[in-house]
Amino acid sequence: MALVHCPKCDKRISDKAEVCQFCNHVLVADPEKLDSERRINRIKKASNLMTQSFVALILFIGGLAYSAWYSDDGTSTDKIVAQVVTAISFVWYLITRIRIMLFKRDKK
């Protein structure tokens, strides 16, 4: 008996199981179908990570531009909000890029 990854939730389950005990996904006996589902899920996850990265980058650039050019005073509320958005989106971007690197390194 070997442990394999569920194509839906990616948790380790028995290769003899007919249904995943974690997500109740019905496992198919065809190995080609399993590989296909695994590839599709991997592409979806990569796409999701890239989308998060782009959104964080856009928020970072937008917050930076707004706080630099469009705010009047250094203590105005909108400038402080723009700076907070800039800081949060920068950290979000860095974390997402690290997750992308780890995802690319992991070849299941």
Strand 12-14, strand 3-5: pairing: antiparallel
Q: What is the number of structural domains in the chain?
A: 1
Residue 16 resides in a domain: no
Residue 97 resides in a domain: yes
> How many CB atoms neighbour CB 87 within 10 A?
13
User: Is a pLDDT exceeding 90 seen at residue 92?
Assistant: yes
30 vs 66 pLDDT, higher one? 66
Q: What's the average model confidence in pLDDT over 55-59?
A: 97
Kindly report, residue by residue over 20-45, the tens digit of the pLDDT: 888 888 876 667 777 888 888 899 99
**CB pairs under 8 A, 24+ apart, for 29-33?**
none
Q: Which residues of 37-74 are buried (b: 16+ CB within 10 A; e: fewer)?
A: bbeebbeeeeeebeebbeebbebbeebbebbeeebeee
Residue 31 resides in a domain: no
- Are 63 and 52 in contact, with CB atoms under 8 Å apart? no
Residue 6 resides in a domain: no
45 vs 6 pLDDT, higher one? 45
Query: What residue numbers bound the domain in which 96 lies?
Result: 37-105
Residue 96, burial from CB neighbour count under 10 angstroms (0-12, 13-18, 19+): buried
Q: How many residues are recorded in the chain? A: 108
